[in-house]
Structures are given as C-alpha cells and as structure tokens.
Structure 1
Amino acid sequence: MLRLAIILGLLGLVGPFAIDMYLPALPRIAGDLNATEAQIQATLTAYFVTFGLGQLFYGPMADQTGRKAPIVLGLAVFLAGSVGAMAAGDATSLMLWRAFQGLGGAALMVVTRAVIRDRYTGSEATKLMAMLMLVISVSPMLAPLAGSAVIAVSGWRMVFGVLAALAAVNLVLALFVMPETLPKERRVPVNLASMRRGAKVLLTDPAFMGLTFIGGFGMASFFVFIASASFVYTGQFGLSPTGFSLAFAINAVGFFGASQVAAMLGARFGIRRVVRLAVTGFFLFTGTLALVALAGFASLPVITALLFCGNACLGLVIPTTMVLALDDHGDIAGLASSLGGTLQMLAGGVMIVVSGLFFDGTATPMLVAIALCAAISFTLTLISLPRRAEAAA
C-alpha cells in the first residue's frame, strides 16, 4: 500500500503544485501584465473549471482503456500548458494556458481516485486516501516556498518552467513505474448510452450527490482562500512573498495532520459520524472567524489560528467523503470519480467568482465566503447524513 500511495502521491503533486507554486507571485504577475486582481484570479478560475470538466473525459477513458493511458495523456497536455504559460504576454493568454494546464491536470485527480477504488474499499481505502493526502499535503507547505525561491532568483515565469519539468518527470514515472490496476476483463466500453445510464444513476443518488457537495464546498472554501490570500496577506498585512508562503503553509499543517487520522477515527467511530462532527467543527470555526472579521477584529494571528482549526476539520472531511461517495459505485468508479470531481471543481470555480465580486483586497470578503462554503457543507450534511444513519457506518 505504501508504494502505491507514494506513486500516486508523486503524480498527484503536479496539479496542486500548479495551484500553489505561483500564489506568491500573483500580485507581481498582476503588475507585470498590467492586469487587475480580478483578471489574475480568473487564471485560477480557468484552471479549476477545466480541471473539473476534463474529469468527465478522463474518467470514462480510464474505465475503457485502463488507468495508465489517461494519466499519460493528461501529463502531456499539462506539460504543453506549462510551456505556454511560461511565455504568456498578457492576462488573457495566461488564463488560456492555465486552462490548458487544468485540462491536463484533471486526469491525475480522477484516475488516482479510481486506482484506489480498484484495490481497496471502506477503511482501507480511507487509509490509502489519507496516505495520498500525506504526499499531496506537502504541496501547500512547500510549493509556495519553492515558488518564492524561484521568483526571487528567476522571476515568476520560471515557476511554469519548473512545473513543466515536474510534469516531464512524472510522465516517465507514469510510463515505467505506475502499475495498471484495472485488468482488461473489468474494463467497460464507453459509449454515450452507457455514460448516460451511469450519470443518471449517480445524479439521482442522494447519497452520492450529498457527499460530493459536502466535500466539494469544503474544497471550495480552500479555493476561495487560494484566490484571495496572497493579495490579503501581502496587501493588508504587509507580508513578503516568503512570509505569505509560511502563513499559507500553516493552514496545510492542520489539514495534513487531521487527514492522517481520518481512517483510524472512521474505523473506531464510523465514517459517517466522523464526517458529521468534522463538518460541524468546520462550520463553527469559520463562522466564528467571519463574525470576528465583520466586527473588525480579524488580526493576522486570529485569522491564522481559526483557519488552522477549520482546515484541520476539513482534513477529516475530504478523504472520508471521497471514499463514501465511491463505495456503492465500484462498477463505474471512473465515471463516479470524474463526475464527482467535476461537480466539486465547478463549485469551487463558482465560489471564486462569487467571492471575487465582493473582494476589496481585505480579509473580510474572503472570510465571509469561506464561512458560506462551510454553511452549505453543514446544511448538506444534516440532509445527507442524518444522525440515524451513523449506526450504518
């Protein structure tokens, strides 16, 4: 299990690094390209939207051809997008190449989930998902710092050069190291009729949809933070790119630490109960922070402390809801993973756009949007995972 987790984790680093590594440079990119904050935030939205929509293609492809082919294709597309972003001359072209990056990176998200479902279910799958999160969680801690170092030495364009090199290394890894986990006899021919049938099953399954959006709006809260934090931390609080990177990393520590005990807590108390309690904590911490901000008392230490607690709760929510959503759909795991991922990424993209309408460079709009995401997840949890269902976990 450890070897598979490391392989999937290294592949999975590509997408998060594409998000986190250039965050310290967002204000500088805006200046260099004569762009507004909203235009630069749109480069993140473009990435998330194509990242989500691309999963609708890669998931069925993974069910038909096996797991390796879509990963190889996705890495190749991501590599091309990275080279294009490196040479972008304005905000619009950067947005388009970022969309291309997202289209390639989508394969790495959806197929790694399906690989886990190929081998494991239940608590074992949660354990492997948490081990995968262990590797991926390095990204929010190290990627901004690495990005700051690259920016200081070579400028923000070289960040995309590093991402291109990372994609090339992972392409070799996918071709020669990653095992194929879907045998030929279990592959499902993909056609529109089968996709419609599978999509209908998933879209009309209240448990699947509820769990997908519980995790989806949890992820959306982090996307809102990603889109706004560099402007808030460097503008309102005067942090340097390195200082922002360190503050950003603190949030990842809470998420990372909690994700590693998700499987143990799920086995002991029931996965559904863990989700209920974790979403409640997420809602309380972020809601409190939003109220504090609206009252005018949101200092940097207060924001850092409460976001740390909220993201620790989120670390229990994301891996567990992923596993629960796929548990009953092993025969269409690729489609289920891709559809779920698409819906989650679209939710994240929508929340970035909505929060961007009110963003003024200060922390309050960002924190209120994060609390709104938590409130939606909490409401969906009350509907999708009623207390009486905990005994079945």
Structure 2
Amino acid sequence: MTTTTIAPSRFFFLILILGSLTALGPFSIDMYLPGFPAIAKDLHTDVATIGFSLTSFFIGISAGQLLYGPLLDRFGRKKPLYAGLILYILASIGCLYSHSIESLITLRFFQAIGSCAATVAAVAMVRDIFPVQDNARVFALLMLVVGASPMVAPAVGGYITSVFGWHMVFLILSVLGGAILLSCILWLPESYQPDTTMSLKPKPIIKNFVSVLANAQFTTYALAGAFSFAGIFTYVSGSPRVFMQIYEVSESTYGWIFAGLSVGFIGCSQINSRLLRRFQSKQIIPWALSFQSLFGILIYLSAFSKVLTLPLLIILLFGYLCCLGFVNPNTAALCLAPFSKNAGSASAVMGALQLGIGAVASAAVSAFDGDGAGPMAATLALCGLSAWAILVIGKKFIRTEATQTAAQPIMH
C-alpha cells in the first residue's frame, strides 16, 4: 500500500492517531516539567532529586521497548498496545496520589513502561502501512502532532500547577491516556498479522535482537540517531534548573520558552519533508549532525567562558534543536528500511538504544548538578559530537543501503 491509495480523510485520521500515540510519552514528560520546584517543595527534596523521576521515566521507556517489540510481532500491534495503555493509565493515577519522592520515581517508571507501548506500536505501524520511501515524510508528519507536546504541555502544566497543584497534572495525563485508548479501540486498524511461529522464549528473542543489531545500516543510523536525540533528553532534564533556578524565570515563562524552542525542532522536521523531494535521507543527515555538533560546542564554550547569557542560550538551543528536526525522521526511516517481517523488533531495538542513551544523558545532567549551565552544556556537545563520529565511522561498513523495500500491510 502507498499513501496515495489511502483516502485523504483516512490518511489524516491515521496520522492523527499514530501521532497521538507517539506524543504520549513526550507529553508525559513536558507537562510536569514546570512543576519541578512545586513537587520538590511538596515532597521535601530539591529540584535535582526530582530530576531522577524523569530519569526513571527514561529508563522505563527504554526497557519497555525491548518488552513490546517481540509482543507486537507475536500478537499483532493492537493487543500489546491496549495492555500498555491500561498500565499507563493506572500508573498515572498512582502518581496522582504519590506523597514521597521514592513512590513518584517508582510510579514514573511504570508509567513509562506503559507509554512506550504506544511509541513502539506507532513506529512499527508506520513501517507496516506506508512504503519505506515515504516513511521519512510520514515521520515528519507525525512530528506535527508530537509537536503539540512541547508547545502546549509545559504552558498547560505550568498553569495547572500554579492554580490546582502538581497532582492535577497526572489526573489530566490519565484522562488523556484513556482517550487515546478509546480512539485506538474504535478507529485504529490492525496492520500486522500475528506471527504465531515467533517464540517468546528469551533465547529466540535475544537472537532476533542480535540479528537486527548485526545489520550495519541499522546499527549506524540507530546509534547516530540515538546520540543525537539524547540532546533532547539532556535539554529536557537540565532546562528546569538552568532556566528557573540559574536564570530565575517563572514557571509560566519557562513554559513559553520551552514552547518557543520546540518550534525549531518541529519546524525543521517539516522543512525536512520538503527537502526529501530533492535529496535523500542519507544526504541530509551528515549536514544536520555537523551543525548540531557546532551548536553544542558553542553552548559549551559559552558556558565555560561565563558568557552564556539567557538570550544567547535560547538562540544556541534553538539552532541545536533545529538540527534534531532534520536528524530524527531520517535516521528512523533508514533504521527500519532493511526490515519487514520483524519491523516490531527493529523498532523496539531502535527505541531502546535511543531512550537508553537518552536516560544516561538525563542521569548525567541530574547527577552533576554543578556550576551554572555547565553539565547541560557539556552533555549537549558530547551528544552531537558522538553522533557525528558514529555516522562517519559506521557508513564505512554499510555495503548496500536499503531505501525502497516495503512490506505489504494487512488492514482490518
């Protein structure tokens, strides 16, 4: 099936549902960021410690990728998706009634385990439904829906926290999870015939994951994309402290800054969609990673030399996030291009690498609560440089790059 065989109204609806699934995890992160100081005060701890509830979310969403990948291939896309969304709703309700930092960190982990079912299923279904040559464009369209998270969630979260308290944020997240679950039950088609021959025993699953990692194209673009995207995790983890404590902006102002900076990431993902009419993904990625590394270095040097003012930080972060808008959809498309039968497992490994490396970056920023914006700046630079180096080295091992093979979808 190609995108042209789908009626425009149905195509739009599919993008909306898949985008909502993809956005559930980011929304769960962005909406509670402005509440960090309030949560810290209520739970009798500091903002840096609250950052570990974010790290636990990243760890959970990373580990969950490997859990859902085989399940999506064995049972089809929708049943594991339902199970994950139900877990997400229950964990969100638990966070609502959390009264200690330990319980919040634990419940955020399980909330992440539930939300990552939505992410893995959405990515795998893009591979099921649309031809591979269209995947980068479809991922870019999903970014429009995902883009509602950083543009809306922090501002809404800041307002809700200031008026109703931070607990109310998790009530809204549980309601959102329920609405997405209902829409999936009613309107999302099953796109993959369950593979009853696939074993769920540890040895075959691990063997399947290893076969995915053995593909040079997958490993190169998955790792380059993961280190690049870890910059987002670094920014999300470090920005509450940097903006609200170091530069002393208010909760609502932080929400607007966060929303404004997200325009760079989302906008460039749409510009990328137009560039793909003239250039291939493998031509765009090296340029984007080069500029991402440059912006990361400039942020670090400015912080190190004590000249990193708030306006300068916003400008440099905007450039850094713009680069991610070009990297993310293209690396995702090229990661999944070699796979059809086990696209769910490939999606899971890609997500696990991306979120696992992101969790390490997040933990590093939270743990090294050092002088000024230094920890965040250094990690941003390291993420960009690592991604660029991996791409340069990894491309030497790719013999034939898959770009055109498409699986035949099964629609119910």
Q: Cα offset for 1:351? A: 1.2
Which of 312, 333, 339 does residue 349 from structure 2 map onto?
339
Name which of structure 1's ranges 211-220 and 238-247 shifts more when overlaid on structure 2. Answer: 211-220
TM-score under structure 1 length normalisation: 0.95
Q: Cα offset for 1:262? A: 2.1
> Equivalent pairs: percent with the same residue?
32
User: What CA distance in whole angstroms lies between the structure 2 residues aligned with 1:177 and 1:392?
Assistant: 32
Checking the alignment, whether the CA contact within 8 Å between 2:43 and 2:101 is kept in structure 1 is yes
In the alignment, structure 1 residue 21 sits paired with structure 2 residue 31: yes
Q: Counterparts in 2 of 1:141-156, with a 5 A limit?
A: 141-156=151-166
Q: Cα offset for 1:391? A: 9.5
Q: What does the per-residue CA deviation read over 1:172-221, in whole Å, with 9 as the maximum and x for residues that have no partner?
A: 1111111111135x665333343233212112223212211111112211
Checking the alignment, whether the CA contact within 8 Å between 1:48 and 1:102 is kept in structure 2 is yes
Q: Cα offset for 1:118? A: 0.3
Higher helix share: 1
Q: Cα offset for 1:282? A: 0.7
**RMSD of aligned C-alpha atoms?**
1.9
Q: Cα offset for 1:386? A: 5.5
Which of 166, 187, 193 does residue 183 from structure 1 map onto?
193
| Letter of the 1:102 counterpart | A
Name which of structure 1's ranges 346-355 and 383-392 shifts more when overlaid on structure 2. Answer: 383-392
Which of 349, 358, 361 does residue 359 from structure 2 map onto?
349
Checking the alignment, whether the CA contact within 8 Å between 1:49 and 1:345 is kept in structure 2 is yes
2:387 alignment partner in structure 1: 377
2:278 alignment partner in structure 1: 268
Q: Cα offset for 1:346? A: 1.0
Q: Cα offset for 1:310? A: 1.1
Q: Cα offset for 1:329? A: 1.4
User: What CA distance in whole angstroms lies between the structure 1 residues aligned with 2:211 and 2:192?
Assistant: 22
User: What CA distance in whole angstroms lies between the structure 2 residues aligned with 1:361 and 1:230?
Assistant: 15
Checking the alignment, whether the CA contact within 8 Å between 1:38 and 1:356 is kept in structure 2 is yes
The alignment covers a number of residue pairs equal to 392
Checking the alignment, whether the CA contact within 8 Å between 1:63 and 1:190 is kept in structure 2 is no
User: What CA distance in whole angstroms lies between the structure 2 residues aligned with 1:340 and 1:36?
Assistant: 33
Q: Counterparts in 2 of 1:44-123, with a 5 A limit?
A: 44-123=54-133
Q: Counterparts in 2 of 1:132-281, with a 5 A limit?
A: 132-184=142-194, 189-192=198-201, 193-281=203-291
User: What CA distance in whole angstroms lies between the structure 1 residues aligned with 2:152 and 2:197?
Assistant: 39
| Letter of the 2:301 counterpart | L
Checking the alignment, whether the CA contact within 8 Å between 2:216 and 2:398 is kept in structure 1 is no
User: What CA distance in whole angstroms lies between the structure 2 residues aligned with 1:127 and 1:338?
Assistant: 20
| Letter of the 2:170 counterpart | F
2:43 alignment partner in structure 1: 33
Name which of structure 1's ranges 351-360 and 69-78 shifts more when overlaid on structure 2. Answer: 351-360
1:330 alignment partner in structure 2: 340
In the alignment, structure 1 residue 365 sits paired with structure 2 residue 359: no
Name which of structure 1's ranges 120-129 and 344-353 shifts more when overlaid on structure 2. Answer: 120-129
In the alignment, structure 1 residue 296 sits paired with structure 2 residue 306: yes
Q: What does the per-residue CA deviation read over 1:318-371, in whole Å, with 9 as the maximum and x for residues that have no partner?
A: 111011001001111000101111111110111122233322362222111111
Q: Which runs of 5+ in 2 are unaligned?
A: 1-10, 404-412
SS at match of 1:260: helix
SS at match of 2:44: coil
SS at match of 1:268: coil
2:7 alignment partner in structure 1: none
Q: Cα offset for 1:389? A: 8.2
Q: Cα offset for 1:121? A: 3.3
Checking the alignment, whether the CA contact within 8 Å between 1:25 and 1:151 is kept in structure 2 is yes
Name which of structure 1's ranges 2-11 and 271-280 shifts more when overlaid on structure 2. Answer: 2-11
Name which of structure 1's ranges 352-361 and 271-280 shifts more when overlaid on structure 2. Answer: 352-361
Checking the alignment, whether the CA contact within 8 Å between 1:270 and 1:391 is kept in structure 2 is no
Are residues 243 and 320 of structure 1, via their aligned partners in 2, closer, same or farther at CA, if it must alter by over 3 Å? same
SS at match of 2:278: helix
TM-score under structure 2 length normalisation: 0.91
